[in-house]
Amino acid sequence: MENTKITIVGTGSWGTALAISFHNASKHVQLWGRRTELVYELCALRHSPYLPGTFIPPTLPITSDIEEIATSDIILWAVPVQQSQQLLELVKSYIPTSIPIIICSKGLELESQQPLSSLFKNALPNPVGVLSGPNFADEIAKGLPAASTLAFEDLELAKKISHQLRHTAFRVYAHHDVIGVELAGALKNVIAIASGVVMGKELGQNCLATLITRSNAEIGRLICALGGAKETRQTLAGIGDLILTCSSTKSRNTSLGIALAQGQSLEDILKSRKNVTEGIATAKVAFELVNHHHVHAPIIHAVHDILYIGKPINDVVQSLLSHQQEQELE
């Protein structure tokens, strides 16, 4: 178990942070990236442009050699969701067919309007799982205590791999609901944009707590509609990640909502960023899903209207405030 070779695919902030965390816990890990020039930079400078102020240990292997993927025992996929299909086509023939693949990216794919697990299951025979939780990359890289949910349809496999990944500063809890964990991680990015609007408009902590709570209900409804377990919304991957992301300006999605509420254009905000803000694309897919499955989700609708219709934020806020269900629990 100690000799299990973990390959993390993706040299962005999350992939790099996971690699540092596992390496510092004395696990056998390598970081793989497609962009040769970035890999050279990471190897030479031992600093990532996506994780400012974070040092990459000199003994952590970083490579762009595609054949190194074939030496893996476990693959953690930390590539942005909208770039994943193209990269999977490039590397899938190098992935041993028996090894587990764990999706660490959070979002819904625009072209297929599906979670990444569906994309991987259609492309490969491997067992596919999802790792998701309240995890800011910079804190994981620093070794601060954190926890996450690991889901495989085979719960015994999830338990086995959770033991292989966990260490003192990073707890990993097994779960069986792959689609639920994946949806919760994706949808919280959409909700975080709404939470940023609440912050940017200075609507108060009461409003923010209400938004998070009602959003958790929306997430639960969509999870159930797509065949997941409603209780998944109460896990680390559900309410845990939702609270973290929606209550901190460190979140790229929350900070996007703040900037929009303060009058900046979406185009200008994105021009100033290096990291991907997954909630933007996910909001479009989530909107289509809730409509297709007839799920009551006014907050997801509101974020979509702001991003894709250009509806004035003040009008969206007023519409939400005037919306009231008769009872809280369904």
Which residues are known catalytic residues?
Answer: 188
Tokens 């902590």 map to which residue? Answer: 205
Q: Which residue is listed with tokens 């254009």?
A: 265
d(CA 324, CA 314): 18
Q: What is the 3-state secondary structure (H, E, C) of the chain?
A: CCCCEEEEECCCHHHHHHHHHHHHCCCEEEEECCCHHHHHHHHHHCEECCEEEEECCCCCCEECCHHHHHHCCEEEECCCHHHHHHHHHHHHHHCCCCCCEEECCCCEECCCCEEHHHHHHHHCCCCEEEEECCCCHHHHHHCCCEEEEEECCCHHHHHHHHHHHCECCEEEEEECCHHHHHHHHHHHHHHHHHHHHHHHCCCCHHHHHHHHHHHHHHHHHHHHHCCCCHHHHHCHHHHHHHHHHHHCCCCHHHHHHHHHHCCCCHHHHHHCCCCCCCHHHHHHHHHHHHHHCCCCCHHHHHHHHHHHHCCCHHHHHHHHHCCCCCCCCC
